[in-house]
Structure 1
Amino acid sequence: MSNEDITLTAGDAEATVTPANGGRVGSLRIGGVELLRQGAKFGCFPMVPWCGRIREGRFLDGATVQQMPLNSPPHAIHGTTRDGAWRTARTTKNEAVITYDLVAPWPHPGRVAQAFTLTEDAFTLTTSVETYESSFPAQIGWHPWFNRNLGGDGEDVRVDFRPAWQEERGDDHLPTGRRIEPKPSPWDDCFGMPDGVDVTLTWPGQFELKVASREQWVVVYDEQEAAVCVEPQTGPPNGLNTHPRLVTPIEPLEATTTWSWRRL
């Protein structure tokens, strides 16, 4: 099984998956227009086995406190799988599955799989975490960097969503546990959408793209000039401590997000 780049096509949509670069989506082009910020750290990367920051890199794992490397001091951020090389399990013209075996510093054996399906007007990403040995807490999320501007004379993207609440963000950039009324942009914040994530990105006169997921949490980050991030995830930042979801030998963790678009 190789880990060479995979190109998926459907109609005039084209997506590139880069197993060797952290299993990320490197490109999404519609009619030749690139929607994702380009660069080795950008595109859209998986956040597994946790999303966002873990306070001081520590989380409770049964009765054991586990310590992750502080890759965003004083915290650990965005999981471990974006730093490794994934393997290609299968591909067709418009579908691909890639896998990654969890290794140190993550303390438990497990396998992560990402499945990608491209159609003429949608891109679906499904991620699962499974274990055949000890159970462990985990999260799944996606971190797409959508271009703020698609070039030409186009206007900057507009982000529209109606969350039920915003997680209050403390000075340490982590949720305090209080839920507050959603505040206006700029954001680097987690929001609750109990009926499922539903966020619309509009590049006026060009595209409307909807980010949807049955999950109830989304982080929106729009503090950078070049891109905006809309990140569906299975729990909030620091969620391994506050909202743990257990992966067991009989019950994997699985989540899906779909990006659907139309021309304006």
Structure 2
Amino acid sequence: MLIELQDHLTHLTLAPAVGGSIVNWRVRASGQPLLRPSDQAALDTGLPGKLACYPLAPWSNRIANGGFDTPAGWLALTPNSLTDPLPIHGSAWQQAWRVVSQSADEVLLALECATPFAYRAEQRFRLRNGELSIALRVTHLAEQAAWHGLGLHPYLPRLPATRLQAKASQVWLSDASKLPTGLAAVPHAWDFQASKNLPEDLVDNGFSQWDGHCRIEQPELGYALECQATGADYFLLYCPPGLGFFCIEPVSHPVNAHHLPGRPGLKLLEHNQSVQLNFTLKYIPTVGGGLLPMAVDQSCM
């Protein structure tokens, strides 16, 4: 069952049963996609990575070494994706969520999960005046404390003139397994302090010391998105060459934080303690944008 929300400017479609994912977010007047558009074939795969956005909990991205330490001892993990040899993105995206409450412009989804430990997750989606607000909250239910991290994985349309602005001071360099090897100054090609086009070469890296703000300009589609995250001091940027999408993911911690010194960004939660990440995306119509047909590659990370 799909859930639909709308305000006077935009229309949102959710698939609670498919990882609590967003299927589409569009401009009502023109039909233009504000997130990567998903068709019925994408929905029929049952894979959140073929849709527009999905939640990351109780961690974001990859974890090495087959698990991580907790106060109760070693927590073993197994790979959970056919496309990656490492455990990735937690477990919330692979569960069916339920609808707790719904109105015309707001819905609350919830999930109780026992893997890799017991937790409850909630996503609150709200549309107001062209602004999509997503609040992702996780409460630890296990008796033994464990490390938690959060994130969101939105896919954005990528056209030749798509531009990004996002201020970060450092970037995590990565090895062939996509695990971080160390922090470095942001190279010029990846420096989005000022708005610029996306790089032509592959980017699949985490950025740190982020102020939580980003701006995505889509002149061919006639709009910009002003975005703001809280509870996320990092973002992951994924720009696959030659495909019609990119991802900028607000996350609470860097990749493999469970094995980095000090476990940056992770929260050790005791029973009934919670952590939350908020992300808002504001639709801003711009002058001179065309109405281009979209043929977006549905490949995923």
Does the TM-score normalized on the shorter chain lie above 0.5? yes
TM-score by length of 1: 0.89
Q: Which residue number in structure 1 is paired with residue 195 of structure 2?
A: none
2:273 aligned counterpart, secondary structure:
coil
Q: Which residue number in structure 1 is paired with residue 255 of structure 2?
A: 237
Q: Kindly indicate whether the alpha-carbon contact (under 8 Å) linking 1:166 and 1:190 is maintained by their aligned counterparts in 2.
A: yes
Q: How does 1:95-134 map to 2 (within 5 A)?
A: 95-104=106-115, 106=116, 108-134=117-143
Q: Kindly indicate whether the alpha-carbon contact (under 8 Å) linking 1:56 and 1:73 is maintained by their aligned counterparts in 2.
A: no
1:81 to 79, 92, 102: 92
Q: Which residue number in structure 2 is paired with residue 152 of structure 1?
A: none
Would you say 1:9 and 2:6 are equivalent positions? yes
- Greater shift, 139-148 or 181-190, is seen at 181-190
Q: Which residue number in structure 2 is paired with residue 261 of structure 1?
A: 283
How many Å separate the matches in 1 of 2:127 and 2:206?
28
How many Å separate the matches in 2 of 1:120 and 1:68?
42
**Which sections of structure 2, spanning at least 5 residues, go unmatched?**
44-49, 190-198, 287-301
Aligned residue-pair number:
253
2:268 to 238, 246, 260: 246
Structure 1 segments (4+ residues) deviating >4 Å = none
Q: Which residue number in structure 1 is paired with residue 147 of structure 2?
A: 137
Q: How does 1:95-244 map to 2 (within 5 A)?
A: 95-104=106-115, 106=116, 108-134=117-143, 135-149=145-159, 155-184=160-189, 185=199, 186-194=202-210, 196-204=211-219, 206-214=222-230, 215-224=232-241, 225-242=243-260, 243=263, 244=266
- Greater shift, 131-140 or 91-100, is seen at 131-140
- Greater shift, 119-128 or 184-193, is seen at 184-193
Deviations 1:111-149, CA, capped at 9 Å, x for gaps: 000001111221110011112432211111000111113
Q: How does 1:57-96 map to 2 (within 5 A)?
A: 57-70=66-79, 71=81, 72-96=83-107
Q: Which residue number in structure 2 is paired with residue 28 of structure 1?
A: 25
Deviation at 1:220, TM superposition (A): 0.8
- Greater shift, 64-73 or 117-126, is seen at 64-73
Q: Kindly indicate whether the alpha-carbon contact (under 8 Å) linking 2:137 and 2:274 is maintained by their aligned counterparts in 1.
A: yes
- Greater shift, 129-138 or 231-240, is seen at 129-138
User: Percent sequence identity over matched residues?
Assistant: 23
Q: Kindly indicate whether the alpha-carbon contact (under 8 Å) linking 1:89 and 1:99 is maintained by their aligned counterparts in 2.
A: yes
Are the structure 2 counterparts of residues 19 and 241 from structure 1 closer, same or farther at C-alpha, using a change threshold of 3 Å? same
Q: Which amino acid aligns with 1:102?
A: C
Would you say 1:54 and 2:70 are equivalent positions? no
TM-score by length of 2: 0.79
Q: Which residue number in structure 1 is paired with residue 298 of structure 2?
A: none
Q: Kindly indicate whether the alpha-carbon contact (under 8 Å) linking 1:125 and 1:258 is maintained by their aligned counterparts in 2.
A: yes
Deviation at 1:110, TM superposition (A): 1.2
How many Å separate the matches in 2 of 1:192 and 1:250?
29
Q: Kindly indicate whether the alpha-carbon contact (under 8 Å) linking 1:56 and 1:76 is maintained by their aligned counterparts in 2.
A: no
Deviations 1:210-252, CA, capped at 9 Å, x for gaps: 2221221000111151211010011011123332312223530
- Greater shift, 21-30 or 37-46, is seen at 37-46
Q: Which amino acid aligns with 1:69?
A: T
